[in-house]
Amino acid sequence: MADEDGNGYGATAARSYSHQDKKKQRSRRFKRRLDSFRFLPDEILRTILSYLPTEIAIKTSILSKRWRHVWSDTPCLYLDWTKPYGPKGDIINKILDRYKARKMMSFNLKPNMRDDFPYIDRWIEFAMSRNVENMSLEFRYQKYLVPDFFYISNSLKQLSLELDFCGLKPPSFSVSWTSLKTLSLRCCKLSDECIDKILSGCPVLESLTLHFCDKLLVLDLSKSLSLRTLVIDRNIWVPGPTRIIAPHIHCLSLINSQLPCTLVDVSSLKEARMEICFCAVEDLKADFLQAMVLEMLKKLQHVDKLTFGENFLTVLTLAELRRVPIPSFKVKDLTLETMISQYAIPGIVRVLQNSHELKKLSTIHKMEFGTIPEEYIDGYLDLQSLNRDQRWSLEARVFEKLSHWNVESRHVASFMELMFKRTKTLEKMVVWFYSYLKEQTFEELPEMVSMLADQNNISIVLHRFKPNHIV
């Protein structure tokens, strides 16, 4: 026999046969899976394809004759050619010529090539002619003027518009987005007159996002009776609104800057997230930030749910170290987004001491970019003639020179214990940790946390961040 002569031919043949057999099995499994897709109802196929970029959805037409035209009836079109090898304008025109769906749910357009500008109006008009409900237009590195017909639609419910800091000029006639509920404007130059005109044409608007919108001074939402959610991002280069009048909103997310901003009226507010975007292009305007933050806190005293970011807490620390009074709160659900650091401790302690109805405390420990550098804080405190040995309390010194790379379980336990000591009404604590916390540290925590929970009669929940996790 071949395998008895010492040459091993039999074993080689057996291995070859085994490999071929496995290959055939894989091929059969693939065909069965493909068949299971082939026999799906068209409605389900269209739903599946609608989650794919349109270019990829079109490529599925080669899988079978039945699939050849399925993509053209999908309720969504996602046209993205921001990359050099993306489709050019004439290809997009051919795609739209073959598109058959009479009702379009969503239309996402991300152009890049300047040569295709003559087509863009036509593409937007095409989507609007199909009574599109959700539209996203993103114009990066280009100057595009929105056409007049864009401002009239009875079908639009969600609209996201990014203009690369171009001026958004509404038409001379009235804006009419009668069904629009969610509006997001990013990197737009907005005058007060412009935003007023847009808002007057959105009678059922529920959510408004203004991300780096320049030129806007006064944001008056007093006539937007349905508006409940307001999101504003500002930075040192894009001031955004300096006065906010929003008596009907329930939820506010405000990323502020070292530029003036006043909450004139947020009397219906139930939930707020506050943070400060720090840009290291000039000295820290600490005195101004403290005054602005404390004025804002007076407007948030009645809010049930509050979230404070790390820079916001650092500014409160500066105020606390200078013995500047911080208002009391009626908050019941408080979230602190901060690393464990001595620079945040005094501000946190004061907030907890002034929150007499607090039931739930969440801490989110993750590394953020744009935090105020420690040397800026130390330099400011030196100018205040605060002795370095006396400015920090013993409870803050526990976390001195602690970075996110050397956090140990004892530091976490000390931080949690400090929180418990400063609250009298707390019932539950939720702790989120960044994904790069040492494995050993995370393994040691459950036992320590269990002891803390029993000692303080508080429910404690631990979570760990995963990459790109959103809380």
Which tokens in the block code for residue 287? 């005195």
Angle, alpha carbons 269-274-275 (nearest 5°): 165
How many C-alpha atoms does 125 have within 13 Å on its Cβ side? 10
Which residues lie across from 336 on neighbouring strands?
A: 308, 363
* Residue 193 maps to a domain: no
Q: Which domain holds residue 352?
A: 329-471
Q: Which of 131, 147, 166 is the last residue of a domain?
A: 131
* Residue 28 maps to a domain: yes
pLDDT in tens, 227-273: 999 999 988 787 789 999 999 999 999 998 888 999 999 999 999 99
CA distance 203 to 362: 36
Contacts of 375 (CB under 8 A, 6+ apart): none
What whole-number percentage of the chain has pLDDT above 90?
43
Q: Would you give the DSSP letter of residue 149?
A: G
Residue type, 91: I
Whether the Cβ atoms of residue 108 and residue 77 lie closer than 8 Å to each other:
yes
* Residue 297 maps to a domain: no
Contacts of 442 (CB under 8 A, 6+ apart): 409, 433, 464
* Residue 394 maps to a domain: yes
Whether the Cβ atoms of residue 96 and residue 70 lie closer than 8 Å to each other:
no
Picking from 166, 292, 165, the residue whose alpha carbon sits closest to that of residue 238 is 165
> Where residue 116 falls among pLDDT bands split at 50, 70, 90?
confident
Picking from 186, 211, 371, the residue whose alpha carbon sits closest to that of residue 276 is 371
pLDDT of the residue at 62? 65
This prediction has a pTM of: 0.85
Picking from 464, 426, 427, 428, the residue whose alpha carbon sits closest to that of residue 445 is 464
Q: Which of 93, 114, 131 is the last residue of a domain?
A: 131
Total count of domains within the chain: 2
* Residue 205 maps to a domain: no
pLDDT of the residue at 153? 96
* Residue 168 maps to a domain: no
Crossing angle of helices 310-321 and 374-383, in 10° steps, is: 20
Q: Which residue has the higher pLDDT, 317 or 111?
A: 317
CA distance 341 to 411: 10
pLDDT in tens, 20-48: 666 666 666 655 555 555 666 777 777 77
Q: Which of 106, 131, 156 is the last residue of a domain?
A: 131
Mean pLDDT of 349-357: 96
Dihedral angle over CA of 385, 386, 388, 392, nearest 10 = -170
Q: Would you give the DSSP letter of residue 86?
A: S
* Residue 439 maps to a domain: yes
* Residue 304 maps to a domain: no
* pLDDT(467) > 60: no
Which tokens in the block code for residue 253? 């997310």
CA distance 37 to 45: 8
DSSP of 290-321, one letter per residue? HHHHHHHHHHTTT-SEEEEEHHHHHHHHHHHH
